[in-house]
Amino acid sequence: MVGKVEGELYSKIATLKGEFDVLCIGELLTDYITKEDKPLKEVEVFDKFFGGSPANIVFHMKNMGKKPLLITKIGNDADGKFLLKTLEKYEIIQEHVKIDKKRETTKSFIKRHPVTPEFEILRGADTQLGLDEIDISLVRKSKVVHTNAFTLAEEPTRSTVLQVMEEAHKQGKIISFDPNYRRKVWPAGEDHLAILKKAYAHADLTKPSIDDAREIFGHCTPREFVKKFHALGAKIVVLTMGAKGSLISMGRKAISVPPEQCDAHDATGAGDLYWSIFLASLLDGDKVEMAGRKASFAATKVVRKHGAILEDREYDEIAAYMRLF
């Protein structure tokens, strides 16, 4: 039996119209991932990858046959040119990627880890996206609007994104929010819960990882975490727990989705692929439990390797798995 919250989601999805399946607004950055299995402070050699959670979702969606769009800001530097070249290579729309001539492209330095990667962030142009740089009509042209807590860390991008979320809510779009909050990324002394609550006033779906939940609330049980996200205003919560699977909650109803077993090497980007497949699955008409099962399978493709981008054959394998159900 479908509950009220779940039923409202399906009804909303069934009536969605738009040229774009998903409009992602947030960071596009370079991930520098360690080649050596050492603490980050001791590492000397890195591999450079396309990165940024909203950008990863756009990349995955494009490769799964959906039509995504990215709004972001990068620097006019070597890293920015590397990212634009990657977007061009994979035929991802660049029209709404803004260039900051003063700030450098944001960079992430990551120590590979099968569960919780160590990282440092050099924040740059992605924090400087102004509302006057946004074509707000893109919200009307999109079915889903997605963003994250990393994007809300600093002004003016924070206010810009919150206003985009408000507009999407007014227009009846599905709003997806990744609460990937990290204390070290936000300015000292910020009341992060107050800012997250503003985002959750509009969000339909949220996907915290267990690490996100601990960073936001401290130590709790998974079901306690879920209750806390609902208390912030989240309607449907998808808590991912790595090797322990995921917990999908609609408030009164919660579903446990078992993990897909695999040999994990690096968790970087796994959550982005999970969420990409989850959203794609919902747009294809799947119920939330089936979307969670398909997403869990897909995430195993990322944790076996380094970097968030998959090979064409791996996307084909995910698509073949999705067609089985």
Tens digits of residue pLDDT in 218-259: 999 999 999 999 999 999 999 999 889 999 999 888 899 987
Q: Give residue 304's pLDDT band: very low, low, confident or very high (50, 70, 90).
A: low
pLDDT in tens, 20-57: 999 999 999 999 988 777 778 887 888 899 999 999 99
Residue 86 one-letter amino acid: T
* Range from 74-88, 210-224, 292-306 carrying the lowest mean pLDDT: 292-306
| Alpha-helical regions (H) of the chain | 4-14, 53-63, 78-89, 137-140, 157-170, 192-200, 210-217, 222-232, 270-283, 288-303, 312-323
Which segment of 153-157, 167-171, 191-195, 254-258 scores lowest on mean pLDDT? 254-258
For residues 125, 280, 227 and 160, what is the CA-based torsion angle, rounded to 10 degrees?
Answer: 30
In 58-134, at which residue ranges do the beta strands (DSSP E only) sit? Answer: 68-75, 97-100, 107-111, 118-122
* Sign of the torsion angle spanned by Cα atoms 191, 195, 196, 200: positive
- The arithmetic mean of pLDDT across residues 195-223, rounded, is 96
pLDDT band with cut points at 50, 70 and 90 for residue 317: confident
Lowest mean pLDDT among 45-59, 114-128, 177-191: 114-128
CB atoms within 10 A of CB 303: 22
51 burial class (0-12, 13-18, 19+ CB within 10 angstroms)? buried
Q: Is the pLDDT of residue 211 over 90?
A: yes
d(CA 83, CA 50): 6
């306690």: which residue's tokens?
Answer: 224
Residue type (1 letter), 289: E
180, 121 Cβ separation under 8 angstroms: no
pLDDT, the chain, mean: 91
Predicted pLDDT at 1: 55
Of the pLDDT bands very low, low, confident and very high (cuts 50, 70, 90), residue 193 is very high
Buried b / exposed e over 184-203, threshold 16 CB at 10 Å, is ebbeeeeebeebbeebbebb
* Contact indicator for 251, 205 with CB cutoff of 8 Å: no
- Enumerate the domain spans of the chain: 4-323
CATH superfamily of the 4-323 domain = Ribokinase (3.40.1190.20)
